[in-house]
Amino acid sequence: MSGPLVLGIETSCDETGIGIVRGRTLLSNTIASSMDEHARYGGVVPEVAARAHLEALQPAIDAALAEAGVGLHELDAVAVTSGPGLAGALMVGVGAAKGLAVSLDKPLYAVNHLVGHIAADILTADSAPLEYPTIALLVSGGHTSLLHVRDLTTDVELLGETMDDAAGEAFDKVARLLSLPYPGGPEIDRAAVDGDPDAIRFPRGLSRASDLAAHRYDFSFSGLKTAVARWVERCEADGVEVPLADVAASFREAVVDVLVTKALAACADLGVPRLLLGGGVIANRRLREVALSRAEAAGVTVRIPPLSLCTDNGAMIAALAAELISSGRHPSTLAFGADSTLPV
Ligand code: KG4
Ligand code: ZN
- Same domain as 169, residue 111: no
147 and 9 both lie in a single domain = no
Q: Is the CB of 187 under 6 A from ligand 1?
A: no
User: In this predicted model, what pLDDT tens digit does every residue of 64-94 receive, in sequence order?
Assistant: 999 999 999 999 999 999 999 999 999 999 9
Residue 337 covered by a domain: no
Feature table: binding site: 113, 117, 138-142, 172, 185, 189, 284, 312
The β-bridge relationship of strands 77-83 and 108-112 is parallel
The residue whose CA has the least distance to atom 18 of ligand 1 is: 185
> Ligand 2 mean position to 297 CA, how many Å?
29
Q: Is residue 229 part of a domain?
A: yes
Residue 196 sits in the same domain as residue 267? yes
Is any atom of ligand 1 closer than 6 Å to the C-beta of 171? yes
Q: What is the pLDDT of residues 181-205, one digit of tens each?
A: 999 999 999 999 999 999 999 999 9
Per-residue pLDDT at 60 exceeds 80: yes
Q: What's the pTM?
A: 0.96
- Residues with Cβ < 8 Å from 58, sequence gap 6 or more? none
Rounded CA-CA distance 48/35 in Å is 10
Q: Does 183 share its domain with 48?
A: no
Pocket test for ligand 1, best of 171, 180, 317 (most atoms within 8 A of CB): 171
pLDDT for 125: 76
Instruction: Answer yes or no: is 32 within a domain.
Output: yes
Task: Give distance in angstroms: CA of 233 to centre of ligand 2.
Answer: 33
Starting from the CA of residue 310, give the closest ligand: 1
- 71 with 139, same domain? no
* Mean per-residue pLDDT of the chain: 96
Q: Are residues 92 and 19 part of one domain? A: yes
The CATH number assigned to the domain holding 245 equals 3.30.420.40
Q: Is 312 in the pocket of ligand 1 (CB under 6 A)?
A: yes
Is 56 found in the same domain as 152? no
Whether 300 and 161 share a structural domain: yes
Using pLDDT thresholds of 50, 70 and 90, give the confidence band for residue 18: very high
Q: List binding-site positions for substrate.
A: 138-142, 172, 185, 189, 284
> What is d(CA 133, CA 151) in angstroms, rounded to the nearest whole number?
7
Task: Classify the C-alpha dihedral 111-116-119-124 as positive or negative.
Answer: positive
Q: Look at residue 336 and tell me if it is in a domain.
A: no
Distance of alpha carbon 264 from alpha carbon 210, whole angstroms: 19
**Alpha carbons 267 and 216: distance in angstroms, whole number:** 12
Mark whether 285 and 319 lie in a shared domain: no
pLDDT reading at 334 higher than 90: yes
Given pLDDT bands bounded at 50, 70 and 90, which one contains residue 55? very high
Does 142 contact ligand 1 (Cβ within 6 A)? yes
pLDDT at 219: 98
Which residues place a Cβ less than 5 A from the ion ligand 2? 140, 312
Mean pLDDT over 2-25 rounds to 97
Q: Is residue 332 part of a domain?
A: no
In a domain, 334, yes or no: no
User: Total domain count for the chain?
Assistant: 2
Question: Has residue 31 been placed in a domain?
Answer: yes
Is 317 a domain residue?
Answer: yes
Average pLDDT over residues 313-336: 97
Task: Please give the Cα distance from 224 to 231 (Å, whole number).
Answer: 11
* Structural domain span for residue 25: 5-122+309-326
Q: How many Å lie between the centroid of ligand 2 and the Cα of residue 15?
A: 9
Determine the distance from the C-alpha atom of residue 26 to the mean position of all C-alpha atoms in its chain, rounded to a whole number.
19
178 and 315 belong to one structural domain: no
In this structure, the residue with its CA closest to atom 7 of ligand 1 is: 141
Q: Are residues 235 and 146 in the same domain?
A: yes
Ligand 1 centroid to residue 313 C-alpha, Å: 13
CA torsion 72→78→83→87, rounded to 10°?
A: 40
Asked if 45 and 189 sit in the same domain, the reply is no
Per-residue model confidence as pLDDT tens digits over 145-189: 999 999 999 999 999 999 999 999 999 999 999 999 999 999 999
